[in-house]
Structure 1
Amino acid sequence: MNAKISFRGVSCRFDVAGTGFQALDRVDLDIGDREFVTVVGPSGCGKSTLLNIAAGLVEPTAGQVLVDERPVAGPGPDRGVIFQQYALFPWLTVRQNVEFGLRLAKVGRAERRRRAEYFIGLVGLGEFADALPKTLSGGMRQRCAVARAYAVNPSILLMDEPFGALDALTRVQLQDQLLRTWRAEQRTVMFITHDVDEAVYLAGRVVVMAAWPGRIHQTIDVDLPTPRTEEVRLSPQFAAIRNRVWHAVYHQRPEEGLPK
């Protein structure tokens, strides 16, 4: 597997109320080109910190992250980031939001329109291209955020619990939409979640983290048929992998996974 993202001995320490807090401790992880990896773990295990370091939004205190074998030195157009909050401009329409990054990149008007229309259609918002975000449901706003991230043509999508604020039915629908979009575009995806079912359903590989300090506890391959369907979600094979991930997340002994 050719590594698209490589975490090499990544540690991160924050100052919290005058006390040092070790968020991550010597994390080593490779994510392959076009691989869909989910990262799950108990609260406070450093999942979001790990993603923010890959995005170039947080600097590690030790170690480094490589993208295409080049050290990450800050945010870049090769990495699209999608957070739990929609972060759309409320005064811009769906189309204008999707075109925003392209406008900053000085992409010509016709090409901006072409790319925006393609990705708006890909996420199922074609009928809402001229709508303002306030008129959209939460799920539709998040689909707009996905289209905006794809439009600037990043090779990597970094997604930090993007469906965490949605109701259960909308969440399942967006999981299916995201997988359809990923199959069509085949970008590398690092997806942070606290939901074990979501982690298993989306991924080809689940990375389970342990906390205090944050570190890789276990990686679990998800050997399930694609495309993922309701039948897959209800299958005994899904249940077996889900139970394995659940146990890895919630039944860790404090000493497990500590660096030697």
Structure 2
Amino acid sequence: MNSKISFQDVVKTFPLKGAEFTALDRVSLEVADQEFVTVVGPSGCGKSTLLSMAAGLQDPTCGRVLVDGTPVTGPGPDRGVIFQQYALFPWLTVRQNVEFGLKLAAVPTQERRHRADQAIGLVGLDDFADALPKALSGGMKQRCAIARAYAVDPQVLLMDEPFGALDALTRVQLQDQLLATWSREKRTVLFITHDVDEAVYLASRVVVMAARPGRIHRIIDVDLPYPRTEEIRLSADFRQIRNTVWTAVYHQEHAAPAA
């Protein structure tokens, strides 16, 4: 497998009440170029910590995180990060929010406008390019955040429960739109979620994590064709994989990690 993201024996510890808390324990994972991988697991299993290290926002205590074979030492334009909170600037329009990272990178005005409009079109916000965030619904704000990440042309998208605060219908609509955009652009996606159905619907592989300490419990292949459709979501094959993932997440044996 041609790895785009590589976690190699990653350990992450934090001080806690005078002791040491192990958030991640010897996590190794390879994510292939252009692959869509979801990570799901119980609360406290270290999902977001794993993504933060790939983003360069946290350093591993031990082990290494690599992108394209190069150790991650901090944030970079090759990785776009999308969080659950939209983090839009309320005084900037949709286009200005999307252009923000390009402006910081000193991209010339004309090219900046072109790339921003292209990203806005990808997420279907053409008619709202000049609107302020207060005029947008929650789903539209998240689409704006996704467009901002796409505008800087990252090779990797790191998404930390980006649809977690949305209502069920909007969430499904954005899942479909994200997959449609991914099918055209073919970025590598690492997507954190607590929703089993979402994990299965989006991914080619689901990584199930166990908590305390955080570690990989099981990796489950999603042998369902793309594009994903409502018919697939309602199929017996989907239900079977979903049940497998559900069992792996919520019925884990409380055993000590392997030595």
TM-score computed with the length of structure 2 as normaliser: 0.99
Q: How does 1:1-260 map to 2 (within 5 A)?
A: 1-255=1-255, 258-260=257-259
Counterpart AA for 1:249: V
Of all paired residues, the percent bearing the same amino acid is 74
Q: Deviations over 1:111-143 (max 9, x none)?
A: 111111111011010000000001100000000
Q: Which runs of 4+ in 1 moved over 6 A?
A: none
Q: Is the 8 A contact 1:208 1:219 kept in 2?
A: yes
Q: Deviations over 1:29-82 (max 9, x none)?
A: 000000000000000000000000111101111001011011001111111100
Q: Is the 8 A contact 1:26 1:259 kept in 2?
A: no
Root-mean-square deviation (CA, aligned residues, Å) is 0.8
Counterpart AA for 2:258: P
Distance 2:235 2:209 in 1: 25
User: What are the ranges of 5 or more consecutive residues in structure 1 without an aligned counterpart?
Assistant: none
Distance 1:78 1:30 in 2: 17
Q: Deviations over 1:188-210 (max 9, x none)?
A: 00000000000000001000000
Counterpart AA for 1:259: A
TM-score computed with the length of structure 1 as normaliser: 0.98
Q: Deviations over 1:136-190 (max 9, x none)?
A: 0000000000000000011000000000000000000000010011011110000
Counterpart AA for 1:15: P
Distance 1:236 1:190 in 2: 26
Distance 1:167 1:259 in 2: 39
Q: Number of residues paired by the alignment?
A: 259
